[in-house]
Chains A and B, each alone.
Chain A
Amino acid sequence: MLDDVTTAPRPEFVYAELSVADPGNVSRRLTIRERILDNATARRAMVVLALALAWELYARYVGIDLLFPTFSETIAALWTAIVHGPLLARLGISLEVLLMGYAAGVLLAGMLTALAISTRIGGDILSAATAMLTPLPAIALLPLAMLWFGLGMKSIVFIITHSVLWPVAVNTYSGFQSVSETQKMAGRNVGLRGLRYVTQLLIPAAFPSILAGLRIGWAFAWRTLIAAEMVFGVASRSGGLGWFILQSKNELETATVFAGLLVILLMGLLIDGLVFRTIERRTIQRWGMQR
């Protein structure tokens, strides 16, 4: 038992100098292997490579080109479509429409959120509108859009705007609302008011949510675009990527259909990796708002 032990007082001691005069290497540089494994891009590339390999092997095992072409056939079809075919032109048309709709959606979302934070009724309008309209698939608005704007670019831009507006607005608004009270007071304390308060305090403070909203909005825009182009089909004078895929299917060029789908995937990877990840790294990760 601890209580029974009568402990003799222990001697005290104080070191005049620390025993380890030279602490040695307290930090070292990471090895190349450690750095590669730490790199998200490198890890993602490995995942993509593994998937491509699995695809190739399975397609060879199935062996029916018309239904399931191999990865190498798809790459060959992609090359042909880029060099000899209309793929790049189709992609250009898609991107143009996409950017127009995206920009309009983000702009409207910004205006709506500004209204929502500055007035109470604005907040009510935004809450009610997002609750009703977020679940409404953009493609469901296409018939109406065709009626209003005719068969053309305008209709697609309209429904892309719809699909971008609500997720971006709702994320931005909830980001503004979750800015810490202390930070808001710090901003008002130094005399920030009105628009400067929004641009110099609220937007950077809510940037993690805003960026998440922009990302979701971008994904929604892509989906809506391809779907709309497939519905429009022949009616559109200058079809985009969706039209390209549909047309290839009609010509039973299955490998080219796959190539078109692959372009959509690659664009997703590219925009996410180049644009959004770069923004993320230079802002919220650098600021310690996200690890």
Chain B
Amino acid sequence: MPPANINDKFLSVEGVTLQYRADDRLVTATRDVSFGVQPRDRFVLLGPSGSGKSSLLKAMGGFINPVFGRIRLENRVIDGPGPDRMMVFQEFDQLLPWKTVVENVMFPMTVGRRFTRAQARARALELIDTVRLTQFRDAFPHTLSGGMKQRVAIARALAPQPAVLLMDEPFAALDALTRQKMQAELIALWERDPFTLVFVTHSIEEALIVGSRILVLSPHPGQVKAELNAHEFGFDDQGTSAFVAQARRIHDLLFASDGGPHAG
């Protein structure tokens, strides 16, 4: 049952059904999905492939329109992409190769006209310092490593002070060591200056580390299975019994329906 006060939420997804065309078929990605995100949440959409978590995120970004239901941000119905909902993608080519690091971070600020050029540049340099890329600010993206590119993408997404930051498996293409470092850095960034985050992942551990609240989705089509708390778990809690127990609980939720490894 979706919570009754869903309309009061900062970002609300209300009975959203998403469909897309694949070749000659119409695929339903999610069916009647409802949830609410509160300000300064680190809200994780967790589910196996086919659970429509990325589609939901793109719908929040305004790239897909729901067939049924609606998505509202601060009581306005989302009807297209905009810099109030900045996205960070998994792919490294989300940075524009013809712009340097600082130009990439300035990009969303110069397109929207809320910042003057000087303001945009000052803010961009500050954000680049925060993600510890000061010495690479005039480098072109192709000279950076994968982790550095994702840090630039995060800085760029935070630059225009969006109402919500949407991250689509941003660390999935990184190696395991870099991924852990990035998770810790993202949380540190949030602790320094809390923002509202919606984060898509298929990793239970990542969901528990990064998230404060986890929406568990079941696949084919994506439906809400559970909404759980994760605010007490941080980067240093991995391996504690409470962390492992919550991870196991989510694992069972995800695999119970299809007779997976731990169903019996």
For B142, the chain A residues whose CB sits under 8 A away are 287-289
Residues of A within 8 A of B35 (CB): none
Q: Is the CB of B112 within 8 A of A190?
A: yes
Q: Are B87 and A185 in contact (CB under 8 A)?
A: yes
Residues of B within 8 A of A201 (CB): 96
* B4 interface contact, C-beta 8 A: no
For residue B81, which residues in chain A have a CB less than 8 angstroms away from its CB? Answer: 185, 188-189, 191
Given A186-B95, A191-B83, 7 more pairs with CB closer than 8 A? A185-B61, A190-B107, A204-B98, A207-B98, A288-B97, A288-B143, A289-B98
The chain A residues found within 8 Å of chain B, CB to CB, are: 180, 182-183, 185-186, 188-192, 196, 200-201, 204-205, 207, 283, 286-289
Contact indicator per residue, chain B 75-95, by CB within 8 Å of chain A (1) or not (0):
000000111011101010111
B111 close to A (CB within 8 Å)? yes
A185→B83 contact, CB < 8 A: no
Q: Which residues of A contact B89 (CB under 8 A)?
A: 182, 185-186
The residue in chain B whose Cβ has the minimal distance to the Cβ of A197 is B111
Bound-state CA distance A192–B141 (Å) is 21
Q: Which residues 138-190 of B sit at the A interface, judged by CB distance below 8 A?
A: 140-143, 160
- A200 contact set on B, CB distance < 8 A: 111
**Which residues of A sit under 8 angstroms from B91, Cβ to Cβ?**
180, 182
- B244 → chain A closest CB, angstroms: 28
Can you sample 11 A-B contacts with CB below 8 Å? A180-B91, A180-B93, A188-B63, A189-B83, A190-B107, A190-B111, A191-B82, A196-B111, A201-B96, A288-B141, A289-B142
Interface residue B66 (Cβ < 8 Å from any Cβ of A): no
| Complex Cα spacing A277 to B256, Å | 61
Measured between alpha carbons, how far is A197 from B68 in the docked complex, in Å?
29
Cβ–Cβ < 8 Å partners of A188 in chain B: 63, 81
A190:B96 contact, CB within 8 angstroms = no
Chain B residues with a Cβ under 8 A of chain A: 61, 63, 81-83, 85-87, 89, 91, 93-98, 107-108, 111-112, 140-143, 160
Least Cβ distance of B168 to chain A in Å? 10
The answer on a CB contact under 8 Å between A283 and B98 is yes
Distance in Å: Cβ of A68 to nearest Cβ of chain B: 49
The reply to whether B86 and A189 contact each other, CB–CB distance below 8 Å, is yes
B111 touches A186 (CB 8 A): no
Q: In the complex, what's the smallest C-beta–C-beta distance from A282 to chain B, in angstroms?
A: 11
Q: Do A189 and B98 have beta carbons less than 8 Å apart?
A: no
**Chain A CB within 10 Å, residue with most, of B82, B94, B111:** B111
Query: Which of A185, A204, A283, A286 is close to B96, meaning CB atoms less than 8 Å apart?
Result: A204
Quick one: closest B residue to A190, CB to CB? B108
Report the nearest A residue to B160, measured CB to CB.
A190
Chain A min CB distance to B101 (Å) = 13
Distance of A196 Cα from B112 Cα, bound (Å) = 12
* Complex CA–CA separation, A182 to B91 (angstroms): 7
Residues of B within 8 A of A196 (CB): 111
Distance (whole angstroms) from the CB of A199 to the closest CB of chain B: 12
- Complex CA gap A182/B89 in Å reads 7
Whether B97 and A186, one on each chain, are in contact in the complex, defined by CB atoms closer than 8 angstroms, is no
Residue in chain A with minimal CB distance to B81? A188
Query: In the bound complex, do residue A189 and residue B140 qualify as a contact, i.e. CB atoms below 8 Å apart?
Result: no
Bound CA span A205–B99, Å? 11
Contact, CB under 8 Å: B83 / A286:
no
A190 / chain B contacts, CB cutoff of 8 Å: 83, 86, 107-108, 111-112, 160
A201 CA to B111 CA, complexed, in Å? 11
Whole-angstrom distance between the alpha carbons of A207 and B91 in the complex? 20
Residues of B within 8 A of A287 (CB): 97-98, 140, 142
Task: For A186, give the chain B residue with the smallest CB separation.
Answer: B94
Min CB distance, A200 to chain B, in Å?
7
B107-A189 in contact (CB<8A): no
Q: Please, how many angstroms separate the alpha-carbon atoms of A196 and B113 in the complex?
A: 13
Expressed in whole angstroms, the minimum distance between the Cβ of A193 and any Cβ of chain B is 9
Bound CA–CA A289/B98 (angstroms): 9
The 4 closest A-B pairs by CB, nearest first: A288-B142, A190-B108, A182-B91, A287-B97
Cα distance A8–B81 when bound, in Å?
63
Nearest chain B residue, comparing its CB with the CB of A192: B111
Q: How close is A1's CB to chain B, nearest CB, in angstroms?
A: 34
Contacts of A288 in B (CB 8 A): 97, 140-143
Q: Which residues of A contact B97 (CB under 8 A)?
A: 287-289
Q: Please give me the residue from chain A that is nearest to B63 by CB atom.
A: A185
Q: How far is the CA of A192 from the CA of B63 in the complex (A)?
A: 13
